[in-house]
Structure 1
């Protein structure tokens, strides 16, 4: 086996060294379209695109719709009384299975905000202040009742690990606009008001798509990208020569074996070299005004959700197409009242500041903002908290492509199940692609003999009623 491997390696090396000067020059000067992220697979949009970028504010852990965006007076009146068996019998209710199911009243008041009169929990006054810029879907539902598979379904359209994330699908279809930063960036923060469920990197993975389309996680504190800086004593010119030499070898090998991952490697070397200049400038908050920093509630670089919101705006300004912010703080199985008081303060001000900032900078109209979690929480009590819930929850959208100041869909009077205009996660994906000018039924990738789609083989609908 070793002799065979050695012979094959020698053959490849000798073949590469035998490439004539003209062929080598051709390799070095050819258009590196295979590694050019600016070129997407869709040459012409299926529809007129309405947005250019996405910022996904992922409230990881399953925020309670009943203490955020879905007011339920009947549930309040029925506090500590049995839940109607007609709703819960035979239904999947996570850890409450087999227990006595009692109604648990919403822990906070709601109020009307903006000219639209959107009803929002009073723990979120800053988000309430931009209510007229938001579209609140109150009839979401999903299939997975545990955190990791529910995140996987929301991100990839499937509960099976290994499928491409929605950010990777967009990069594959549309390419990216920036040359010196990844087109898909992920930021994470950890709150203090709830159990911080882990988030796996497979949530932003490219799955069976070429790996150049996967998301890149930036660190919230310290160096945003590990191992990016040049070693001590190495100049930019020296590193440029090193990158050029390595890429020459990679291109030569790619010409022999035609492996798409080699093109990815070439692009990654080039991107890393350019990021050595772009990332320090991205993280430098000196040019941010005092008023802006105060609006977000951070000076930047402190690892908080607020800091990540500010960094997200800067990423969007640089042309990053898809930005995800995971705030791990929403798994409130107990003491939901005290926990949400903390978590709401962590996200409320910065979320509203981000929306206002994007509007002032002319970015809001062609950005799709998504705010929500992987599922909701039960109307039934789990001690002083709520369990996981998939039958009904809320998702907030923003940006110029969706109707502003609009409420869409409802749950029943207990907040248990989507009742009017139910929206499945697949419907959200179909709508996301539509806003980028993509017909989800015509957008696929062939892998192992099958044509895979973000929306899968199940029926999915574009929610045209919420589109501006």
Structure 2
């Protein structure tokens, strides 16, 4: 009996310490128990925003697999003269090659076979498959000098999403949800959507990429599924009315409330919060996901797949609808950019899947008067090599992973439109002007939301953690 009492006391102490950084899980429980909880947005933590926000929300179009900067934005016409020549080891040292090509005997230069042209009044160089995005070139702020340390997909994607190559940290959306809360009590602050390229399935995506890590679970992203019900168990079972569901939840809340009073466990408050959010989402989500009520000209703008659940075009349109309804961080993951075998063909295929809808999202937000208050971010986990992986021909070449330099672009609130930042060397191997690390990009995204990345922290296992770890500088030169 004494042992049981001691264990209960230890549990109480652990729960107290775990919950103290949020003012105790009981605070969340009290908020949920109040009569206004169902109609009020989730509260932000004290002191935020740190300064006036430039945008209300972020839409992050993550292109999983590593888009080839050489075949999209980083135009290197002089490489045509070096076709088939060996890339000098002084430019590309052996230790930065992956195991897939480290054993190759030859590393021939593979110039892009895709045609490039200058687009918009800004004269941004873009490849031919991006014909729709070319129409909004003057809205883009292109960063050509991104770099990362990670050379393989999972750690590289994890670094972009969580600030660490080691799995288990909170995702960017979870940090933002934790810091700023939600603008709509009937929808999550953070939603994740996934889609696959038509040409290939691509790299696996794990729930931890939109997870809460060591933050309370209520801050994790809610994933909308690409088939069937958007969220499992969202709808009531056959024969159960909404009134019956409400009574069931009330009974569960009383039971969970008794447990919360007994153990002071923040996880119980999180569980109650999730049940209540799911109940409210039963009313808001069905209308949200029905895009057929959009005007025909809007559906046409996004393309023929705009009404096909799970497709990239549908997710882009859904992102705008989520943004309209106050969702703060919207994360789209599109797989299939891993072009090891036939880069020209695979890049063109990916653009057919994504180009029109990406451009439409920018146009749509602008027409709705929402672009100035929305930050759009586009890019993958790394770039691709200038040397050919496998057999080289003028029209067919593969490209391996390349972390030393790659391209991202931003559009919308608070960034300079029609602007190009940074530069790479003649081979598109290394950054030579204005390098931008992953943590710099993360710090800049948080800045546009009014967050000082050094001050948004959470104490865990004796240390204060943050999204940017101990790194990161805001890229002030790209901000308007």
Please give the TM-score of this superposition, normalised by the length of structure 1: 0.92
Q: Name the CA distance, whole Å, in 2 between partners of 1:129 and 1:322.
A: 26
Q: Is the 8 A contact 1:193 1:330 kept in 2?
A: no
2:212 aligns with one of 185, 206, 214: 206
Which contiguous aligned blocks of 4+ residues in structure 1 show a shift greater than 3 angstroms? 26-33
Q: Is the 8 A contact 2:405 2:428 kept in 1?
A: yes
Q: Is the 8 A contact 1:137 1:409 kept in 2?
A: yes
2:443 aligns with one of 430, 436, 444: 430
Equivalent residue number for residue 313 of structure 1: 320
Which ranges in structure 1 are unaligned for 5 or more consecutive residues? 13-25
| Structure 1 residues 386 and 27, CA gap change in structure 2 (3 angstroms) | closer
Equivalent residue number for residue 462 of structure 1: 474
Which moved further from structure 2: 188-197 or 307-316? 188-197
Equivalent residue number for residue 445 of structure 1: 458
Equivalent residue number for residue 86 of structure 1: 90
**Paired residue secondary structure (1:189):** strand
1:369 aligns with one of 343, 364, 376: 376
Matches within 5 A, 1:219-368: 219-297=225-303, 298-368=305-375
Q: Name the CA distance, whole Å, in 2 between partners of 1:165 and 1:429.
A: 11
Matches within 5 A, 1:18-417: 29-30=33-34, 38-94=42-98, 95-99=100-104, 100-297=106-303, 298-383=305-390, 384-417=397-430
Cα shift at 1:200: 0.7
Q: Name the CA distance, whole Å, in 2 between partners of 1:242 and 1:301.
A: 35
Q: Is the 8 A contact 1:27 1:251 kept in 2?
A: no
**Paired residue secondary structure (1:96):** coil
Number of residues paired by the alignment?
449
Query: Once superposed, what is the RMSD of the aligned Cα atoms?
Result: 2.2
Q: Name the CA distance, whole Å, in 2 between partners of 1:32 and 1:211.
A: 22
Q: Name the CA distance, whole Å, in 2 between partners of 1:27 and 1:123.
A: 51
Which ranges in structure 2 are unaligned for 5 or more consecutive residues? 13-29, 391-396
Q: Name the CA distance, whole Å, in 2 between partners of 1:351 and 1:76.
A: 30
Cα shift at 1:27: 9.7
Cα shift at 1:178: 1.1
Q: Name the CA distance, whole Å, in 2 between partners of 1:162 and 1:105.
A: 39
Q: Name the CA distance, whole Å, in 2 between partners of 1:141 and 1:358.
A: 29
Q: Is the 8 A contact 1:375 1:390 kept in 2?
A: yes
| Structure 1 residues 27 and 125, CA gap change in structure 2 (3 angstroms) | closer
